[in-house]
Amino acid sequence: MSENDNLQDADGKIELNTTETPQTPEESKVAEASTSEEIKESIETTETTPESTIETEGTTVETIDVSEAVKEDTTETSEDVTVETEVVSEEAKDIATEEVSEPVIETSDKAESHVEEIDEANAEDAEDETNAERHEVESKDYHAMTMEQLVDELEALIKDQKIQTIKSQVDEIKSEFHSKFGELLEEKKEEFLSEGGNVIDFYFTTPVKKRFNDAFKSYRNSLNAYYKALESNLKQNLENRLTIIEEIKGLINVEENINTTYKHFKDLQEQWRNAGPIPRDRYNNAWNSYHHHVEVFYDFLHLNRDLRDMDFKHNLDKKTKIIERAEELAADDNINRSFRELQVLHKLWKEELGPVGREHREEVWERFSNATKTIHDKRQAYYADLDKAHEVNLVKKEDIISKIEDIAQDQPKSHQAWQNKIKAIETLRQDFFNAGKVPIKVNDATWTKFKTAVRNFNRSKNTFYKSLKKDQFDNLHKKQELIKLAEENKDSDDFDKTTSLMKKIQSDWKSIGHVPRKDSDKIWKQFKKACNHYFDRMHEERNAASKEEMAAFEEKSTLLETVKAIELSGKPEKDIETIKTQINAWKAIGHIPSNKRFIDGKFNKVIDGLFGKLDMDKAKLEMMKFENKLETLSNPNDTRLLDNEQNYIRKKITEIKGEINQLENNMQFFSNVDESNPLVRDVIKNINNHKDSLQTWENKLRKVKSMY
């Protein structure tokens, strides 16, 4: 027969609701101090029970109470009062066998969920005696935390808590982190694809993701090392406990002094208490088997009822204390603290104490079970209220999702409008995370609905910015062309012509619009550098020339006064020569500041006055004055003034031709009138005058053309 033959079949695992309000370390310590340590201390002070001996001869069984002997001489050893048992009677064996066939079980035969919940929790703790400390680890609202905060929490748990006590917290942190990072990853992937990227080339990570991976890897390695060491220990402890059960089973068949057998039994019980943790899936079966055989041994002790009754009384007293404490806990409003302390009470009931007399078994168990049920029901009600709160949170989150969907439906046309929507969505995202937990059954569906709503908004946003980026790339190309043009002309010495070009380039730059942000600063600095280079050169040269120009202005001012004082001799040729000399002197002076050029008009007016005093043909005088004017307009680097003058002359020629044609048409009405008619003579005179004027303007036009 193997060592497991006497174990009962394993019960089905009961799934527990492990979500609970965090219990402070102080509450946990008070709870355990008021139960486990207090009751254990009481047990230790009453461990010593009177030993008895039996003597069996033939079919007679005599029970000997040695308590009086112990009282008379406390220094007498157990061997001094022990009568050796040489033969165990057949009757005694029959009685023992009969008792074994119907083992006493203190718990009810029917399934009690409130007891099973406690047993399952204790079975979980039994795998590692330090696991009970995990209930002191605070579970926070990880759903409302950012990825950075989640990693901070994970690193703090690994550093400050025992690795085997933080599984639920780590699992929740992992789930929340992956959800948040997954959402960010999808958003970045869509942006990458919207910019023309290939899905096989996409890769994205962040420093916080690396921190999380490192922290979780550290947790996993530490946990694996812990459980590897624990597994070996659990296996050995289980073997030790099964060996103890086998030894207890064999006590009823040992033919030895009952006193020695009882001491052996108490030693086995102590070994059992110190045997250490065992696998959780074997916990209940091992304990049930142990208690079964302990009860069989106590029933075997009916051969020495005083000894057995003393143990029964001891167990009854301690179980009564446990019941009273459980009933106090049933009235406590701190649900989680009561449940944790109740676990300790059940562990003491099961692991530290043996059975009570048959007449009390049903009664004490019923009281203990009722107190347990009260706490169980209050705990279930607490979680029911928690579920209601989660339902309220669900309504809040559904409303937030609806608002996100409404915002996603609108498609603004401007960058600023999209920025406002992005801020609104971010606020709603934070509200969603801060709204609290929802019922587990709809958690995944709610999260999926939220992600879908946000993803739809992001897709619309990306579509807008994709088209915006296309325009920005076009603008970038246009501005790069302007930069090229500015750099090609930045070293030009033709300041009059290039300045207008550079100003036009700057004006075009302002009208083009935005470029991609990553290129904005770079191209602006490049463009600004080229423009500043040109205008700095221009200003530097003009500042150098300004002194010379002012000196030229002063010289022209002096010459103007000299010309005004000229008195003509009356001889045309000599006077013309005098006038031309002054004109040439004026031209030789050079450039003056642009804001002082009004002096040229004054000089021309004085010269025209001098020409008007000459006694000579008016047509010649007109051409002389015009030639003088052309000298002032002539500039080899800038023909705009000559162009304007040429256009003016052409316009005058056209007007004069039109007037001549009109007068000649009018003459047709005088076909029967003699030319001696005054009216006809005036018309003919006007025609001749216009023809003379036309000749003069045509000469001017030829003169202008010769200046190019």
Quick one: tokens of 90? 């057949």
Express each pLDDT in 374-418 by its tens digit: 888 888 888 787 778 888 889 999 999 999 999 888 888 888 888
Closest CA to 322 of 354, 346, 286, 355: 346
589 domain residue, yes or no: no
**What residue type is assigned to position 92 of the chain?**
A
452 domain residue, yes or no: no
Segments forming the whole domain that contains residue 656 = 639-708
Closest CA to 164 of 140, 143, 135: 135
401 domain residue, yes or no: no
Q: Is the pLDDT of residue 113 over 70?
A: no
Closest CA to 179 of 433, 405, 436: 433
| Residue range 591-616: mean pLDDT, rounded | 83
Give the pLDDT confidence score for residue 33 in this predicted structure: 38
Last residue of some domain: 334, 367, 386?
386
Q: Is the pLDDT of residue 431 over 60?
A: yes
Query: CB–CB of 502/535 below 8 Å?
Result: yes
H or E segment at 62? strand 60-65
Least confident of 22-26, 254-258, 476-480, 497-501: 22-26
Q: Is the pLDDT of residue 144 over 80?
A: no
Beta bridge partners, 64, equal 53
Give the pLDDT confidence score for residue 503 in this predicted structure: 92
**What residue type is assigned to position 414 of the chain?**
S
Last residue of some domain: 352, 386, 420?
386
The whole-angstrom separation of Cα 378 and Cα 331 is: 10
Q: Which letter does DSSP use for residue 471 in this model? A: H
Whole-angstrom Cα Rg for the chain:
57
175 domain residue, yes or no: yes
684 domain residue, yes or no: yes
Measured CA distances, 464 to 99, 460, 663 (Å)? 86, 6, 71
Last residue of some domain: 336, 367, 386?
386
Q: How confident is the model at residue 307 (pLDDT cuts 50, 70, 90)?
A: low
164 domain residue, yes or no: yes
| Residue range 435-443: mean pLDDT, rounded | 85
Torsions phi, psi of 275, nearest 5?
-75, -15
Q: What does the angle CA 277 – CA 282 – CA 287 come to, to the nearest 5 degrees?
A: 75
Q: Is the pLDDT of residue 134 over 50?
A: no
687 domain residue, yes or no: yes
Number of domains the chain contains? 2
* Alpha-carbon dihedral angle through residues 598, 601, 603, 609, given to the nearest 10 degrees: -150
327 domain residue, yes or no: yes
Share of the chain above pLDDT 90, in %: 12
H or E segment at 88? none
Q: Is the pLDDT of residue 136 over 70?
A: no
Helix (H, G, I), strand (E, B) or coil at 46: coil
Q: Is the pLDDT of residue 274 over 70?
A: yes
H or E segment at 466? helix 440-489
